[in-house]
């Protein structure tokens, strides 16, 4: 192993001495033993670089190529060749922060186009240049609405992705926001009748169980107490359902990974963020605008930038210092390539696949809906007669990634479904899932639970 380390033994000893440790093992002692590799990596010694590359390729070839029915915020959508051909051009891949618009017109225009398509799918007049991911978009949305409403009391549906909510709770420790989580019943948020003092309501559309919430009904409830409404959407389904903006959202957020970004082992992904004209001065990150230069030609500039390092400093509304330009460009290319009809087709095919898969699975003895009779779209939860993790392992042997254990996703959290979340399986479909693949999954699950 030492052959592959750039540091000498003396340098390592110096580092350990500086941090007050006796060994490298102590440096990683905080990592749970269950996720540590026992016995080392068994890397061959004395191999030339081409031989190491060939050996690694052999290891990679041993991975199983599973048909993916997992979702919960990261989906196996098709990434068209045009996205890779355009977004991966060196001009975009190597582009740095566009501080100087006179030398960054291409990137600025690409971001401007991204903002335009995001505004359309969210149904909002303003979208920023992107954030890090869906979770960071949620945090920034709550920061904005708390400042706007003047109340730090935040109601959050448990239908919002549990990982996003965990990030929000972590940030709230520092900001002092009061986060109150609202349970689901049969896939629907059970909002309290008394909303006194609430400044922000956060809901997902559809929620983490794939069910549509009554967004339009929340608008008058929010108005009654002067609260702001934050809606987390599945952006793909904007091609099939009414936009969150048209239903009364003040801020719309999403994970933009389905648009042009491969699953990539969890990132980097793309945070979508859109809001109203009234909140534009509180917009986190950057806003790229279109103007004219001194010769009357169309030009693009960074119109707003609220980061704390800039002129506003202590008056800054956000500490976000950048955006996910490359992923945003990929999203803009894919949405531009698809157009309105193309996005609608992807949404429609994903929903059809989800409906067919759900019907077939619920016909299996011992399997029930985890959300009662509440309709779902391209994602749904089912209750199994055994541990979901066991079913996932068995089905993987047949070549399918069956979904995600709801218990593992929520860490066993109550208030999401009525039953045991560890016996609930969350399944997602995209336009890539064929009827034969769905039939194969259904047969494999039927065998696994028999």
**Would you list the domain boundaries of the chain?**
9-59, 67-77+339-449, 81-334
Task: Give the CA count within 13 Å in the CB-facing half-sphere of 215.
Answer: 27
In the predicted model, what is the mean pLDDT of residues 6-10? Answer: 88
pLDDT at position 214 is 92
Query: C-alpha angle 172/177/178, rounded to 5°?
Result: 110
In the predicted model, what is the mean pLDDT of residues 338-354? Answer: 97
Identify whether the C-beta of residue 401 lies closer than 8 Å to the C-beta of residue 444: no
In this prediction, what percent of the chain has a pLDDT beyond 90? Answer: 80
Q: Rounded CA gap, 203 and 229, in Å?
A: 8
| pLDDT, tens digit (0-9, with 9 covering 90-100), for 177-217 | 999 999 999 999 999 999 999 999 999 999 999 999 999 99
Q: Rounded CA gap, 201 and 218, in Å?
A: 8
pLDDT at position 312 is 61
Of 249, 206, 238, nearest to 331 (Cα)? 238
Q: Which two tokens stand for residue 330?
A: 């990929």
316, burial (CB in 10 Å: exposed 0-12, middle 13-18, buried 19+): middle
More reliable by pLDDT, 33 or 385: 385
pLDDT at position 313 is 65
Identify whether the C-beta of residue 161 lies closer than 8 Å to the C-beta of residue 73: yes
In the predicted model, what is the mean pLDDT of residues 134-152? Answer: 97
| pLDDT, tens digit (0-9, with 9 covering 90-100), for 417-448 | 999 999 999 999 999 999 999 999 999 999 99
pLDDT at position 2 is 53
- CA pseudo-torsion sign 313, 318, 319, 324: negative
Of 288, 218, 210, nearest to 251 (Cα)? 218
Of 431, 292, 332, nearest to 120 (Cα)? 332
Q: Rounded CA gap, 280 and 12, in Å?
A: 50
In the predicted model, what is the mean pLDDT of residues 65-84? Answer: 95
CATH architecture for segment(s) 67-77+339-449 = Alpha-Beta Complex (3.90)
Q: Are strands 424-428 and 67-68 parallel, antiparallel or unpaired?
A: unpaired
pLDDT at position 95 is 79
Is the pLDDT reported for residue 309 higher than 80? no
Identify whether the C-beta of residue 378 lies closer than 8 Å to the C-beta of residue 396: no
In this prediction, what percent of the chain has a pLDDT beyond 70? Answer: 97
pLDDT at position 316 is 72
Is the pLDDT reported for residue 307 higher than 70? no
Is the pLDDT reported for residue 398 higher than 60? yes
Is the pLDDT reported for residue 120 higher than 70? yes
CA distance readout (Å), 377 to 150, 213, 244, 383, 427: 36, 12, 16, 17, 11
Quote the DSSP letter at residue 274. E
Is the pLDDT reported for residue 3 higher than 90? no
SS3 content of the chain, % helix, strand, coil (to 5): 45, 15, 40
Which stretches of 295-434 are DSSP H helices? Answer: 325-362, 388-396, 406-410
Residues 6+ apart with CB under 8 A from 12: 24
In the predicted model, what is the mean pLDDT of residues 392-403? Answer: 97
Specify the residue for token string 């239908």.
159
More reliable by pLDDT, 200 or 59: 200
Q: Rounded CA gap, 98 and 43, in Å?
A: 42
| pLDDT, tens digit (0-9, with 9 covering 90-100), for 271-287 | 999 999 999 989 999 99
CATH topology of domain 81-334: 3.40.640
267, burial (CB in 10 Å: exposed 0-12, middle 13-18, buried 19+): middle
């Amino acid at each position: 192993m030492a052959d592959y380390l750039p540091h000498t033994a003396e340098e390592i000893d110096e580092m350990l001495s500086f941090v007050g440790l006796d060994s490298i093992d102590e440096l990683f002692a905080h990592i749970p033993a269950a996720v540590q590799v026992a016995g080392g990596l068994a890397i061959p010694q004395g191999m030339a670089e081409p031989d190491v590359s060939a050996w690694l390729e052999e290891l990679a070839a041993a991975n199983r190529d599973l048909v993916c029915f997992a979702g919960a915020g990261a989906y196996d959508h098709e990434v068209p060749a045009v996205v890779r051909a355009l977004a991966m051009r060196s001009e975009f891949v190597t582009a740095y922060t566009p501080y100087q618009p006179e030398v960054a017109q291409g990137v600025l225009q690409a971001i401007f186009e991204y903002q335009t398509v995001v505004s359309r799918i969210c149904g909002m007049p303003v979208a920023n240049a992107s954030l890090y991911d869906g979770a960071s978009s949620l945090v920034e949305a709550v920061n904005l609405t708390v400042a706007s409403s003047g109340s730090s009391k935040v109601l959050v549906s448990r239908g919002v992705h549990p990982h996003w909510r965990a990030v929000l709770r972590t940030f709230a420790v520092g900001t002092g926001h009061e986060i109150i989580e609202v349970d689901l019943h049969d896939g629907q948020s059970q909002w309290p009748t008394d909303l006194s003092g609430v400044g922000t309501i956060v809901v997902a559309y559809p929620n983490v169980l794939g069910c549509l919430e009554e967004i339009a009904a929340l608008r008058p409830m929010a108005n009654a107490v002067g609260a702001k409404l934050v809606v987390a959407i599945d952006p793909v389904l904007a091609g099939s359902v009414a936009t969150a903006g048209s239903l009364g959202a003040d801020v719309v957020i999403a994970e933009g990974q389905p648009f042009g970004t491969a699953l990539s082992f969890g990132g980097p992904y793309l945070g979508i963020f859109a809001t109203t004209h009234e909140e534009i001065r509180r917009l986190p990150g950057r806003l790229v605008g279109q103007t004219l230069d001194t010769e009357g030609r169309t030009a693009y500039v960074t119109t707003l930038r609220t980061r704390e390092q800039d002129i506003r400093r202590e008056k800054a509304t956000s500490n976000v210092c950048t955006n996910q330009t490359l992923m945003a460009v990929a999203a803009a290319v894919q949405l531009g390539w698809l157009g309105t009809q193309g996005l609608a087709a992807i949404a429609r095919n994903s929903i059809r696949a989800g409906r067919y898969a759900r019907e077939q699975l619920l016909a299996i003895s011992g399997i029930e809906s985890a959300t009662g009779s509440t309709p779902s779209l391209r994602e749904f939860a089912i209750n199994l007669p055994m541990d979901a993790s066991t079913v996932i392992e068995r089905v993987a042997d047949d070549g399918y990634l069956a979904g995600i254990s709801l218990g593992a996703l929520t860490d066993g959290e109550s208030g999401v479904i009525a039953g045991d979340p560890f016996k609930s399986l969350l399944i997602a479909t995209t336009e890539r899932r064929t009827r034969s693949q769905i039939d194969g999954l259904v047969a494999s699950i039927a065998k696994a639970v028999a």
